[in-house]
Structure 1
């Protein structure tokens, strides 16, 4: 928070059935450290009935004091790190797109052998960058090392969609993922082992075992995400051919993705309140005093801090403006926008004073030069 009362805003949100963000709580604290996070998480736990043995999954951006606070209050919780913030830290030294691609391949691998293969490819590309990434425990950022406790494929903090025009038994996100898996399942062949398991084979030595009783596949995507993978769907197709009653395929999707579950999450409303003049007087003997005033050192900042991605995109646009766009050269007093259109700048523009009506200065620097010239 900027201004004469600088503070820090701590927030927590939940992930709904459509991989959208559901606001839960926020608090204003003096500074961001372990004690403030411990107080915030304790208050959150009291409101949500979270105990020290609660099996929740936290996704954080590794803010100062947050990691030890979660370890102290929720030792049984799974703590994941936002992959976007890991990439931003990587971009400080390694800016090329290839580093981002290697990071995402390693993070989205669902099995440990696949993860080690991706890390080996990353090491062959840049050993130093790979060693930097290995220092971050993979259980916090690599899907192959997740427990599967949280039924979700989310790996960063994204913005949620709205519930408008949602149709069908599943949420829009789950429907999209299921449709993609259906299209890929047609390229796989499932063979029954005489029990509850199937061997599913595809191209490029892609072969896995599906256990329909436990709703698992050795690729771990069904277990981690909660939506049948392409191997599981191929198995369900084979069971249907053998006249087995598998029902609607959406029934094999975890209930967290059902549309009814999503709607129930937003069934609670925020009640409107009356104006302040109609609020009842509080009988609490505690007197609330305003926060202490802190004068910020130095000149106040007028612009927010920008991420490395924003700085890079702006520098690219700046280089395009210097060279011109679509063969149009720049002239003095003009600049070329990203769309290739020349725009006037304030450079070399004569300023008229609002007081004396003379040109060359403004009202703040006016010294009473007389009437209109």
Structure 2
């Protein structure tokens, strides 16, 4: 983009397309880019959105042999983890400085919104410009998609939380709501897990030596009485003699 289409105004327009979270705002940002520079819009439209963001190590490692590339990625991630821990050690609360700042900024706008509870788990939140969003506190999601993507409650979600607390329901600390929702539901204690292997739960073990039940060949000491295999052969022999 920098090589073919230059200019601060064009750069800001492209960043507006990359920063939005939902599809309607993305389409509006792309329309503004199209009016500003049709050629840049056409060039950008040919690239899938999932390829817009590139990792920091791609330029330095992508042209290396596969083993060297993997070693470089491993070292890069190790350094990155160490840097993240250094940042967390400086944080006073349970959240990072960036997450705390975003959360505090979202708190300032919550009192400007109108909240309507649907009676179950969802809230309809109306903003200053009459834009409407649906917040699901149980699934930790909002139709603006900010909470879903970055894992920090958006201003619509915070407005719904405060409305819930004002109506006498426990909502807990806002910091406890930070984090992306879990994709998998919690299973019950007695619920079987999905697996390609047959479960051996509730099955009786049969010894391969004495053919008695309740133990295996490794722990076999003749327990369980006479061998069932011996009984079967004895009964079979009597039948033949008769």
**TM > 0.5 fold call:** yes
* Aligned positions of 1:150-161 closer than 5 A: none
* Residue number in structure 1 paired with 2:16: 105
Distance 1:162 1:117 in 2: 36
Could you say if the C-alpha distance between residues 212 and 179 of structure 1 is closer, same or farther in structure 2, counting changes exceeding 3 Å?
same
* Residue number in structure 2 paired with 1:128: 39
Which of 132, 152, 156 pairs up with 1:231?
A: 156
Task: Structure 1 unaligned segments of length 5 or more: list them.
Answer: 1-89, 143-156, 257-373
Higher normalized contact order (CA 8 Å, seq sep 6+, divided by chain length): 1
What is the TM-score when the length of structure 1 is the normalising length?
Answer: 0.39
How far did residue 167 of structure 1 move?
0.6
Matched pairs, number: 152
Deviation beyond 6 Å, 4+ runs, structure 1 = none
How far did residue 229 of structure 1 move?
0.3
* Residue number in structure 2 paired with 1:192: 117
Retained in 1: the 8 A contact 2:150–2:180? no
* Residue number in structure 1 paired with 2:201: none
* Residue number in structure 1 paired with 2:66: none
Q: Which moved more, 1:186-195 or 1:226-235?
A: 186-195
Asked whether 1:247 is paired with 2:205, we answer no
Distance 1:220 1:165 in 2: 30
Distance 1:205 1:125 in 2: 28
How far did residue 139 of structure 1 move?
2.6
Q: CA RMSD in A?
A: 2.1
* Aligned positions of 1:174-323 closer than 5 A: 174-254=99-179
Which of 16, 24, 28 pairs up with 1:117?
A: 28
Q: Which moved more, 1:170-179 or 1:231-240?
A: 170-179
Higher strand share: 1
Query: C-alpha offsets along residues 320-359 of structure 1, whole Å, 9 cap, x if unaligned?
Result: xxxxxxxxxxxxxxxxxxxxxxxxxxxxxxxxxxxxxxxx
What is the TM-score when the length of structure 2 is the normalising length?
Answer: 0.59
Asked whether 1:92 is paired with 2:3, we answer yes
Query: C-alpha offsets along residues 47-96 of structure 1, whole Å, 9 cap, x if unaligned?
Result: xxxxxxxxxxxxxxxxxxxxxxxxxxxxxxxxxxxxxxxxxxx1213221
Distance 1:120 1:138 in 2: 15
Query: C-alpha offsets along residues 129-182 of structure 1, whole Å, 9 cap, x if unaligned?
Result: 10011111013338xxxxxxxxxxxxxx9x867345311121112111111111
Higher helix share: 2
Distance 1:103 1:137 in 2: 14
Distance 2:21 2:138 in 1: 21
* Residue number in structure 1 paired with 2:91: 166
Could you say if the C-alpha distance between residues 187 and 141 of structure 1 is closer, same or farther in structure 2, counting changes exceeding 3 Å?
farther
* Aligned positions of 1:40-119 closer than 5 A: 90-119=1-30
Query: C-alpha offsets along residues 232-273 of structure 1, whole Å, 9 cap, x if unaligned?
Result: 0000010010010001111111189xxxxxxxxxxxxxxxxx
Larger Rg: 2
